[in-house]
Chain A
């Protein structure tokens, strides 16, 4: 059974750096073809893909946010970490992590964590 759960601060100040952790179980991020991605959703708005890390440590970022994002993995801890620098109120959103099996879609999602950016 695959599960994922996001954790991190619920409130950050403008210009601060956000660090979110995705802790997962039921699969290994060292298995060929597996990846974990981050997707966010501002209140009342659409889903937006942010970043993805592959089993072989290859990484992909949203072109529009690439300069602000870093994604890493700790295979031994079954965790994926996303950092986003220079946070702004427009970054207020629910942040999801999701499992991507071989195939370019997300078949399991975490419950999401709401991050509010406000002074």
Chain B
């Protein structure tokens, strides 16, 4: 089945830019979605189809996807952005399954 790999952790200073990668075989051909999860809370969709933001999500959150890597970028990082982030795709192969990445803990220094 399809595998999505993320770095376990990313650290960033307030006001700087955090980039979280999501690696998968030819992931650029798939739609990638990103979720933010704060401790004790359910995940929240922050980016869908590579770069679209749901209403209510700040413009500081953006995404890109090409080749074997998708990236979630958080600009002007705030303390409230500290959370776990997960990428997700739909694998249209024979299993037709939904796949989540391994998750990245973003720490704001």
Residues of A in contact with B (beta carbons under 8 Å apart): 37, 39, 46-49, 52, 60, 62-64, 96, 103-107, 109-112
In the complex, what residue of chain B is closest to A61 when comparing beta carbons?
A: B97
In the complex, what residue of chain B is closest to A46 when comparing beta carbons?
A: B103
**Stretch from B20-28, B42-50, B59-67, B71-79 that touches the partner:** B42-50
Q: Give bound CA distance, A52 to B96, whole Å.
A: 11
B97 touching A62 by the CB < 8 A rule?
Answer: yes
A105 touching B88 by the CB < 8 A rule?
Answer: yes
Contacts known (A46-B86, A46-B103, A63-B1); A104 close to B42, Cβ less than 8 A:
no
Question: What residues of A have a CB within 8 angstroms of the CB of B99 in the complex?
Answer: 49
- Told that A47-B37, A109-B42 touch, could you supply 12 new A-B pairs with CB distance under 8 A? A47-B35, A47-B103, A52-B98, A62-B97, A63-B1, A103-B49, A104-B89, A105-B45, A106-B35, A107-B45, A107-B48, A109-B43
Question: Which among A104, A107, A110 is the interface contact of B98 at CB below 8 angstroms?
Answer: A104
Number of B interface residues in the complex (CB < 8 A): 25
Contacts known (A37-B98, A46-B86, A46-B101); A105 close to B48, Cβ less than 8 A:
yes
B103 touching A107 by the CB < 8 A rule?
Answer: no
1/0 per residue B31-46: CB within 8 Å of A?
1010101000011110
Question: What residues of B have a CB within 8 angstroms of the CB of A107 in the complex?
Answer: 45, 48, 54
A63 touching B43 by the CB < 8 A rule?
Answer: no
B100 touching A111 by the CB < 8 A rule?
Answer: no
Question: What residues of A have a CB within 8 angstroms of the CB of B100 in the complex?
Answer: 39, 46-49
Question: What residues of A have a CB within 8 angstroms of the CB of B98 in the complex?
Answer: 37, 49, 52, 60, 104
Contacts known (A49-B99, A105-B48); A111 close to B42, Cβ less than 8 A:
yes
Least CB distance from A38 to B in Å reads 10
Question: What residues of B have a CB within 8 angstroms of the CB of A64 in the complex?
Answer: 1
Contacts known (A46-B102, A103-B48, A105-B88); A60 close to B97, Cβ less than 8 A:
yes
Least CB distance from B1 to A in Å reads 6
A63 touching B95 by the CB < 8 A rule?
Answer: yes
